[in-house]
Amino acid sequence: MRKKILDILPKEPSVPSCEIKEPLVRDKELPTKSNKKGLWFLILLLLILTVMFGFKISRAEIKIWPDTETTVLETELSIDTSIQYLDFKNKVIPGQVFEVEESVSRIFSSSGKTLKKAEGVIRLYNAYTTKSEIWLKGTRFVSAEGKLFKSKDRIYVPGAEIKDGKIIPRYIDVPVIAAEFGEDYNIGPSHFSIFVYRGTPRYTKFYGESLESMKGGGESPQVTAEDLTEAEEILTEEAKAKSVRSLREKVGDEFIFLTDISKTEITEKISLAKAGDEMSGFTFKVKTKAIALIFKKQEIERFTRDFIVSRLPEQKLLYTESLKIDYTPQLVDWESGKVNLSLKLSCKIYPKTDLQALKRGLMGKTLSETKIFLENQPEFISTEIKFWPFWVKSIPKDLDKIEIKYPIIDVLREI
């Protein structure tokens, strides 16, 4: 019997506790062939699951532009404020009356000019007689500068007083106006003589003094009749426009507002001046009321849609978004609250397609087969096909995974 030979290695000397032992480093184990096969199996399984999941959630989206045509129809329609509901048989829809009041005012410049005479006051002294006298209106006074002024009224001249044998003059203030127009008569305080007493003893005993300057002579602005007429016309237009804007804002987007079935009325005109007034500017004010007979957008769209559909050929559908309505008022009766309208309706129509039957015909078809199938449909002028996810190559066989967007119509190309 053979003996087993064991190599006995001598023990390594013990390392003191204060020394640090170096860790034993081992080479990394390399993957075996079985590990590699497992990794590839996991990758393959993941790919299979991804593809299966992709097919499970796959879908097809198809956009279809049908062959459209434009149709134009005309009809009559009445708006009546006394009814509450649409009457399709008699072509009547309910309406409402809205009204607003507005006012505008502005300061306008006077365009007229007038020449004025200077005016003032002369203190007339009587140093001639103790008897009072009455002088005529228009008594003439001549200033030291030779400017002639006339009294505006009759003058009651008081008599002088006698005191200690001496005559004490008494006086009266006399409003006067220049004999001529112009700024030259705006003179300062001056001494005045009585023109009619020239060359007589009374000339120096009756005299006048002005304590303040004469004023107001020269050119002055004046309100003319044309100024007032122009102000009224301007503000009337502004007030009407403002009331119509306010009415439109009050009506809102829910209603149809037509300017042809609205009216404005002038309720008040106020001027703080009259023709001939001497002023550089004046204030004018105008008040207006705007009234409109309106109707709901929803009601007119409902009526026109039903009207068009009732007259469409078989197997044709209305593309509602393309509908256009032109309104022409024929008769407006404000007292009864009724309006007769002529309507011109323009819209696009397209062929009716059984989308479920179309889906069944597309199920399982490849991209190229789908294109050929759709191109052979005479009612389609253009199509667009999309598969998802990207690796899907055919239409799903589940109808719920086929989405058809029909119709796709470029409304910008309408009429």
Where do the structural domains in the chain lie, given as residue ranges?
Answer: 98-110+222-294, 119-219
- Once rounded to an integer, what is the mean pLDDT over residues 157-178? 94
| Rounded-to-integer distance, Cα 22 and Cα 163, Å | 150
Q: How many Å apart are CA 216 and CA 90, to the nearest integer? A: 76
Query: Can you tell me which residue has the tokens 């030979």?
Result: 5
Residue 412 has pLDDT above 70, yes or no: no
Distances (CA, A) of 125 to 144, 149, 164, 249, 276: 16, 16, 19, 73, 37
Q: Which residues lie across from 113 on neighbouring strands? A: 221
Type and span of the H or E element at 415: none
Out of 8-17, 269-278, 324-333, 340-349, pick the least confident. Answer: 8-17
Which amino acid type is present at position 357?
Answer: A
| pLDDT at residue 359, as a whole number | 92
* pLDDT, mean of residues 134-154: 96
The predicted model gives 43-53 an average pLDDT of 57
Give pLDDT tens digits for 100-122: 999 999 999 999 998 999 999 99
- Please tell me whether residue 250 adopts helix, strand or coil conformation: helix
Judge whether residue 384 has pLDDT over 50. yes
Q: Which residue has the tokens 């995974």?
A: 401
Which tokens hold the place of 114?
């007038």
Q: Are 104 and 151 in contact (CB under 8 A)?
A: no
From CA 308, how far away is CA 349, in angstroms rounded?
Answer: 10
- CA nearest 119: which of 174, 175, 173, 177? 177
Quote the tokens at residue 29: 């184990």
Residue 24 has pLDDT above 70, yes or no: no
Backbone region of residue 136 per phi and psi (left: phi > 0; alpha: psi in -120 to 50; beta: other values): beta
Structure letter (DSSP) for residue 399:
G
User: Is residue 23 pLDDT above 80, yes or no?
Assistant: no
- Of 275, 273, 292, the C-alpha closest to 283 is 273
What distance in Å separates the CA atoms of residue 178 and residue 150, rounded to the nearest whole number? 6
283: Cα separation from own chain's centroid: 27
pLDDT > 90 in the chain, percent: 75
The model's pLDDT over 279-331, given as tens digits with 9 standing for 90+, comes to 999 999 999 999 999 999 999 999 999 999 999 988 999 999 999 999 999 99
Backbone angles phi, psi at 200, to 5 degrees: -125, 165
Is a pLDDT exceeding 60 seen at residue 199?
A: yes
Domain 98-110+222-294, CATH 3.30.110 — does that match? Answer: yes
Tokens 């006048």 correspond to: 208
